[in-house]
Structure 1
Amino acid sequence: MTTIFWFRRDLRLADNKGLFEALKNNQAVLPIFIFDSKILEQLPKSDARVGFIQELLSGIQSELQAVGKSLAVFYGEPLEIFKKLVAENQVEALYANRDYEPYARQRDKAVYEFLQSKNIEFKSFKDQVIFEKNEVIKDDGLPYVVYTPYSRKWKENFKKTKLESYPSETLLRHIQAHTYPFLSLNDIGFEKSQIKVMPYDVSENLIRNYEATRNFPAQDKTSYLSVHLRFGSVSIRKIVEKAMAQKNETFWNELIWREFFMQILWHFPQTVTRSFRPKYDAIQWNNNEADFKKWCKGQTGYPFVDAGMRQLNATGYMHNRVRMIVASFLCKHLLIDWRWGEAYFALKLLDYEQASNIGNWQWAAGSGVDAAPYFRIFNPTEQIKKFDKDLKYIKKWVPELETSHYPEPIVEHKFARERCLKVYKEAVA
C-alpha cells in the first residue's frame, strides 16, 4: 500500500511536520509535487517564483538521490493528477500540510471529496504557521480584527506552547521507489529568470539591529525571509526560535503580522475582492489607465514612488517602508482602486503572499482591518526627508533624478490630497 506526501508550501525535508508524520507512520511513502496548471497559466514564462520552486525541488531531489530515493514532479490540475495516481497505485492515504488561501481550500476540498469516494484518507497538518484558523481568537470566540490585541493573545498562547521539531530527513528510508518523472522548467514550458531570490539573513547582528535599521531602504537591512517563508524553504518554527533567542520584539512582531493577516483571510475570504469595510466599496475611483501605467513603470515624477516601483520591476523585491509609500500614492494620490495595485504586486513580488498583500493594500486604502484612517495620506516628498534624506536608495533606482529626463510630477500633492479627502468623505462619511 502507498501513502502519498504532497509538497506544497513546505519545500524542504528538514522540520516538515506533514512529511514527518507520513514517514513515521508508513513504510512506503511517495513524495510528490504538482505544478498547478491553473496557476501557472496566468504567469509569464520566465516567472522567477516558478524558477525558485524548481530550485527548491532540485535541492530536495539531490538530498533524496543521495539515499537512493527520488521526488515525483507533475504538471496539471491537482485533482486530475490524483485520479491518475489512485488508478496506478494502491493508495491508502494522502498527507499534506495545510494551505489557507481561498483557492487552496477549494482545491483541497475537491481532492478530499474524490479521495473520500475511494475510501482514501486525506490527513493534513499545521506547518507554515505557529497558530492557525481559530487558535488565536477573542474570549467570545470571534476573530480579532485589530493587530495589537491579536498579537497580545498570540504571545500569551505562545508562552504555553512547546515548539516541537520534526526531523523528517531521518526517515527517508520509508520513501518508496517509483518511476514517475522529475519535471524540469523546460518540461512545464517555463524558462530560467534573470531575477534571483536573495538568501535570507536571520543573523544575530541583523535581528539585534532590526528596529534601528528596518525603515531605511538604502541600508538594505531587511531579512529577505518572506519569500522563503512563502515557499517553505525554511521552517517558521526555527525562525521564531531565532527571534526569541535574540529577544527582539520588533522582529517577532513582523512574524506575528504574517499570521494575523492569514487568519483574517481565513475568516473573511471575501476580502480577496471586496473591502473589509463594505462602505469603502462605494469609493468612486478615478482608475486612469495612463496614470496606472506610469505608476507601474516608476514614471510618476515622485522619486520615492518611482524608485520603489523600479526596484520591484527589476528585482521582484520592494522594501516594506517603500511598499507603504507606493500603495498610499496609488490609492490616495491617483485615486486608483487598491485591487489594481494588489494584482500588480501579485504579478511581480517574489514574496507574494495573498493574505499579507491584500491586508496591506487594504490598510493603505483605508478599507481593511486595523486600517490607516482615510485622512492619513503619506506625503511622498516628506517621506524622503525621513527615510532617504541622502537619496542613496532613490538615486540607485532613479539615476536621471535632477536631470531634464526625469518626468514632472503626475499630480500636484496638495490637489491630490484635497481630491482624495473629498472623494473618500463622500463615500464613507
Structure 2
Amino acid sequence: MTAPVILWFRRDLRLSDQPALAAAVASGAPVIPVYILDDDTPKHRKMGAASRWWLHHSLNALDTDLRALGSKLILRAGKSDAILSALAAETKASAVHCIRHYDPWWRNAEKAVMNGLSEGTAFVCHDGNYLLPAGSVTTGSGGQYKIYTPFMRALWQHMPPPVPHPAPTKIPAPDNWPESDGLSGWNLLPTKPDWSGGMSEMWMPGEAGAQDRLAAFVDKAKFYDEKRNLPSVEGSSFLSPHLHFGEISPAACWHATMDQGGSVDVFLKELVWRDYAQNVIVQMPEYGAKNARDAFDKLPWRDLSDPVVQADFVAWTKGQTGYPIVDAGMRQLWATGWMHNRVRMITASFLVKHLLIDWREGEKWFWDTLVDADYGSNAVNWQWTAGTGVDSNMFVRIMAPLSQSEKFDAMHYIREWVPELAALQAPYIHDPDEYGARPKGYPRKIIGHKAARERALKAHEIVKG
C-alpha cells in the first residue's frame, strides 16, 4: 500500500490555488488533510473570540468541500509539532505538506515540525498565501525593504502573479482514516451569551463565501479609490477575513480585478500592503508588541490601571465616546467583527492621540474582536497610526474625527450604528455637542478635540527631547 501524505491546513483553508494540496495530490499518494487547533504554540497570540467564530464555520465549509472530492478533514487539538509527529508515525506518512506562514510562532512551529518528524517523513513548505514569499523582494544591495513605497514599486515589477490553479477534481483517500475530534467539541462558538448574530448576518465563511465576495466586488473595483473612504457606501471589497483565513488566494483576487481599469490599482496596492506587513514581521518579529522607533518608549502613555483611564478605554471599546464616527466604528466592530478601513484609522488615532492610551491596548482589542485579525497587518497598521512604526504617520498629525466624519459623508453610517442619533441631519449628526443637538441618551464628548490635541503634543515633547 502506498504511504499517505499529510496536508497540514492552517490559514489556507481553500482547495483552489492551494499549492500544498496540489503537491499532495500530484504525489499520487493518499492524502490526509488535517487541521490542528494549536493554542499552545502562539501562547498569548492564540486566536481571539471573533476569529474562533470564523474558524468554526470555515472548517465546517472546508470539510464539506473536501467530502465532495472524496476526502475529509481530520481535526486534532494540541501542539502542532507533537500532533504531526504522532500522526505521521500512526499513518506511516511519507511527507507533510503545508503552506508557509510568517507569524513568528508559525515560523517556530515549522522548524519544530521539521525537527520532530522521523527520518523517513519529508516536510515540504510551499508558498501561496501572499503575492510573493516574504523576504524575496530585495533592494539593489540585497537588503530588505522597511518602507512601503519602495517595497511596493519593487514588488510591482513581478506582477501579475502566476495564474491561479483550479481545485483538484478528486483527492485520493487512505484506506484507513485516523481518528478525528468533533468540531463542536472545540467550543469555538460563543454561547453564554451568543454575541455572533451580527456576524452571521454579514458573513459566510468558507471558500464559496470568499468567491461570492470577489464576484460581487469585481465590477466595483474600478471605483475603489472614489468609494473606499466613504463609510456610508459599500466601496470595500469585504475580502479581508477571507484572505486572512486563506479561503481565497491574493493571486485570485489580483487576476479577477486587474483589468477593470479606473482606480483598480489602488485596490491591488492593498494586496501589496498585506505582503509588506509580512515583510515587516519577518524582519521584526516583535512588531506587535514593541515600538519600532525606540524614542517612543519614553512617551508617557496614560496608565490603564487608573480607574479614570480604564473608564475612557471601556468607553472607546463600547462606542460611548461622544464622537459619533468613533462610536459608530466601534459598535460596527462589536456587532460584525469588521470595521470600515477609514473608520479603523479614525478610531485607532482617537485611542492613541485623543485618549493617549498605548496603541498596544488597541491592537489587543482588535485582535480579539476582528474576524480579519492578522498579526502582521494589525501591528503594522497600529504602529503606522501611532507614529511608532518603521514606516508611519507622524504622531503630531492628529486626525480630527469630527471633520473626518463630515468630509467623508458618514451620516448614514452613523445612523445605522448609533441609533440614538438617527433623527439628526448633517451637519448636526457629526458633532451634536457642538450644535447643541445631543440627545439625552447619547454621551457627552469624553474629551474636547483641542484639549486632546494639546495633551498629545505635550506628551510628544518628551519623545522629541
Relative to the length of structure 2, the TM-score reads: 0.86
- Partner amino acid, structure 2, of 1:102: P
Deviations 1:89-108 (A, max 9, x none): 21221110001001111122
3-state SS of the aligned residue for 2:158? helix
Contact 2:69–2:169, Cα closer than 8 Å, also in 1: no
3-state SS of the aligned residue for 1:5? strand
Q: Mean Cα displacement is larger for which, 328-337 or 85-94?
A: 85-94
Contact 2:134–2:275, Cα closer than 8 Å, also in 1: no
Other-structure match for 2:153: 152
Question: Structure 2: which 5+ residue stretches go unaligned?
Answer: 191-195, 304-308, 422-437
| Structural RMSD (CA) | 2.2
* Whole-angstrom distance in 1 between the partners of 2:50 and 2:388: 31
Deviations 1:25-72 (A, max 9, x none): 242221111122337997999934333323333333223333433221
Other-structure match for 2:143: 142
1:53 aligns with 2:52: no
Other-structure match for 1:133: 134
* Whole-angstrom distance in 2 between the partners of 1:184 and 1:39: 21
Contact 2:50–2:370, Cα closer than 8 Å, also in 1: no
* Whole-angstrom distance in 2 between the partners of 1:106 and 1:256: 25
- The 5-angstrom pairing of residues 271-420 of structure 1 reads 271-287=287-303, 288-388=309-409, 391-401=411-421, 402-420=438-456
Deviations 1:185-231 (A, max 9, x none): 42113336432225424533210111111101111221110000001
Change in 2 beyond 3 A, CA 1:372/1:325:
same
- Partner amino acid, structure 1, of 2:74: A
* Whole-angstrom distance in 2 between the partners of 1:182 and 1:46: 24
* Match 1:234 to one of 233, 239, 248: 248
Q: Mean Cα displacement is larger for which, 60-69 or 415-424?
A: 60-69
Aligned positions, number: 424
Identity across matched positions, percent: 37
Other-structure match for 2:168: 169
Other-structure match for 1:16: 18
Contact 2:41–2:109, Cα closer than 8 Å, also in 1: no
Other-structure match for 2:426: none
Contact 2:76–2:181, Cα closer than 8 Å, also in 1: yes
* Whole-angstrom distance in 2 between the partners of 1:233 and 1:410: 40
Contact 1:69–1:177, Cα closer than 8 Å, also in 2: no
Contact 1:70–1:177, Cα closer than 8 Å, also in 2: no
Contact 2:98–2:125, Cα closer than 8 Å, also in 1: yes
Q: Mean Cα displacement is larger for which, 67-76 or 128-137?
A: 67-76
* Whole-angstrom distance in 2 between the partners of 1:74 and 1:49: 18
Change in 2 beyond 3 A, CA 1:4/1:370:
same
Question: Structure 1: which 5+ residue stretches go unaligned?
Answer: none
Contact 1:98–1:126, Cα closer than 8 Å, also in 2: yes
1:250 aligns with 2:286: no
- Partner amino acid, structure 2, of 1:105: R
Other-structure match for 1:101: 103
- The 5-angstrom pairing of residues 181-260 of structure 1 reads 181-191=179-189, 193-194=196-197, 195-196=199-200, 197=203, 199=209, 200-202=213-215, 203-247=217-261, 248-260=264-276
Change in 2 beyond 3 A, CA 1:43/1:285:
closer
Other-structure match for 2:284: 268
Relative to the length of structure 1, the TM-score reads: 0.93
* Whole-angstrom distance in 2 between the partners of 1:219 and 1:425: 39
Change in 2 beyond 3 A, CA 1:284/1:358:
same
Q: Mean Cα displacement is larger for which, 264-273 or 330-339?
A: 264-273
- Partner amino acid, structure 1, of 2:169: T
Tell me by how many angstroms 1:272 deviates.
Answer: 2.0
Contact 1:3–1:26, Cα closer than 8 Å, also in 2: no
1:114 aligns with 2:113: no
3-state SS of the aligned residue for 1:33? strand
* Match 1:180 to one of 152, 175, 178: 178
Contact 2:323–2:401, Cα closer than 8 Å, also in 1: yes
Change in 2 beyond 3 A, CA 1:357/1:409:
same
